Amino acid sequence: MNLYSTLSYTFILLILNSSIAFSAEPESCQQALQKGDVAQALSTAKKMLAVNAKDVDTLLCQGRAFTASQDFNSALDAFKLAQLNASDSTQKTIAALLIGNAQLSLKQPDLAIASFLQALEHAKTTNSATYVRASHLALGNAYLNQQQFEPALAQYQAVNKLDANDNERGESFEKIALTHHKMGQHDAALEFQIKAYMMHEKSGTLDQYAHSSIELGRYYGQAKQYIRAENTLNKIIKFAKEQGGAYYEAKGSCVLGIVKAAEGEKEAAKALVEYAKSIAKNTQDKSLEEEINQETQGLL
């Protein structure tokens, strides 16, 4: 599952956990899944469905357990059964969102988009801005994955209008900035990333603050505001080093290397990229190492 579908799935689980009255019984599927015991969740779901094969909450839980075990075909089957037996708009919305994410995992993006559109229609009848926002977000991520930037931007703008707090505003501003970046609209990307940075600086987690800082430095560089790019990136590199955040120290150093290369400072760029790679190797972070290699391919 790639980054954007993973983020959508995580958000859907958050609203799922807040909307369903999970059983307090220690042997329930939901309780097992919350503890990370996927095998127990699947076993319990099977027993519960033998008693009532149409129980929507259990089918949703079974699908989530199959997703956790990377069995996306079985997850999709469970979610479709849940959708078939759903009795209200909330259940139908959640089922459609989870179906869409399973389809993304199975590399069926067109079907996923259709499912997310279906979720949006159901969500509009729930009188819940949370479900409508989640549907727009899932659609935006799916369109972005397919490099359909105009519809992605429209969905993220819809998300932004439904934001309920600074943290949500920071997330949607960052999505809008990323889409403008992908479209080569560097000034617009910078405008919205500044807004995202301000929200995350005020209300975000340390991860959100660090990520938004690095992307702000990147967009300053692409807008040829090199002094601001360097100041922003040096600040977050220092912060990450002080906080023990090796990942963000490496990412910040990598992006600073890209900015230095754009300024024509090839030796400084090379040193920064090599430093970023050394952090990835020392922390045995293979995915980080791959990110750095992809970002700097053909740079030096």
The span from the CA of 222 to the CA of 230, in Å, is 12
Task: Name the superfamily (CATH) of residues 1-162.
Answer: Tetratricopeptide repeat domain (1.25.40.10)
pLDDT tens for each residue of the chain, 300 residues long: 444 445 556 666 666 555 554 444 446 898 999 899 999 999 999 999 999 999 999 999 999 999 999 999 999 999 999 999 999 999 999 999 999 999 999 999 999 999 999 999 999 999 899 999 999 999 999 999 999 999 999 999 999 999 999 999 999 999 999 999 999 999 999 999 999 999 999 999 999 999 999 999 999 999 999 999 999 999 999 999 999 999 999 999 999 999 999 999 999 999 999 999 999 999 999 999 999 999 999 887
**Token digits of residue 279:** 């952090």
Residues of the chain with CATH 1.25.40.10: 1-162, 167-300
Amino acid letter, 62: Q
Burial of 133 (0-12, 13-18, 19+ CB in 10 A): buried
The span from the CA of 183 to the CA of 203, in Å, is 28
Rounded to 5 degrees, φ, ψ at 24 are: -85, -5
The span from the CA of 217 to the CA of 240, in Å, is 14
Residue 163 makes CB contacts below 8 A (sequence gap 6+) with 133, 169, 171, 172
Contact criterion met (CB below 8 Å) for 74 and 87: no
pTM as predicted: 0.89
Domain range 167-300, CATH architecture: Alpha Horseshoe (1.25)
CA distances from 68 to 9, 18, 74, 78, 139 (A): 11, 19, 11, 13, 22
How many helices and strands (H and E) does the chain possess?
A: 16, 0
| Segments in 27-88 forming alpha helices (H) | 29-34, 38-51, 56-68, 72-85
Closest to 234 measured CA to CA, from 189, 221, 223: 221
The span from the CA of 20 to the CA of 71, in Å, is 23
